[in-house]
Amino acid sequence: MSEIPTLEAAPQAHVHLIGGEKGGVGKSLVSRLLAQYFIDHDMPFLGFDTDRSHGSLMRFYAGYASPVLVDRYEALDTIIESSIDQPGRRVLVDLAAQTHDPLAKWMDESGVLDLADLSGLAIHYWHVMDSGRDSVDLLKKLLDRFGHRLRYVLVRNQLRGDDFSQLEESGELERALGLGAKVVNIKRLHDVVVQKIDAANSSFWAAKNTASAGGNGKLGLMERQRLKLWLNHAYAEIDAAGV
């Protein structure tokens, strides 16, 4: 008799929810970073973008992403169904701010975590954090709601501050680690580099591989070098998280 797969066993499919609830902590940047990681490592994926007005995946990785509305169960169902239908393809969901409650309601009322357990589906929640207290409070809310039933990745985004003492002193970091959470540190990247990439609506690959041609907003030689070093560090952090 075959054994029913559970999240404690090696999962066959993966859904990556990029959240943090608070606006401005860098969720979209982390979504773009993970999308580029999948591309560069030849890992098939499908992206979903929940931001109706400023969808980052739709803007920078349009060929890989589709819009999804968090207030429609039928749309959210597609996330789970697409991951189970093609388990070798990862699913990446960029969650807009203020989507935690409708998402949690859908998960509860649809038995998403029970289905995931039985289907060999791992749901990874990437909690993107700045250095403020709100990010810590939202982490507590997340852990209170889901406990051990999600696979957590805590993203300390140094582009939004580098003093995470409030997290370290809160007890929530130790609590998350006790639930098996991984920690990913995203180093600071020079502001001008970020601004030029965003202004050009460029993927990270295009930004690091397209030479400047004088006044067109593309990155210069040294800016591309800084981007390459930043990506290398971020990729090493993602590797350690085991996505």
CA angle 70, 194, 35 (to 5 degrees): 45
For the chain, residues with pLDDT lower than 70 are 1-10, 53-54, 212-217
CATH T-level topology, domain 13-189: Rossmann fold (3.40.50)
Strand, helix or coil at 126?
A: strand
What global pTM score does this model have? 0.90
How is residue 183 annotated by DSSP?
E
Residue reference for tokens 């996330």: 79
pLDDT tens for residues 193-222?
999 999 988 999 999 998 764 455 689 999
pLDDT tens for residues 142-176?
999 999 999 999 999 999 888 999 999 999 999 99
Nearest-angstrom CA–CA distance, 9 and 98: 32
H-only helix segments in 86-220: 100-110, 112-119, 133-146, 165-170, 172-178, 191-199, 204-209
End-to-end Cα separation, the chain, in angstroms: 30
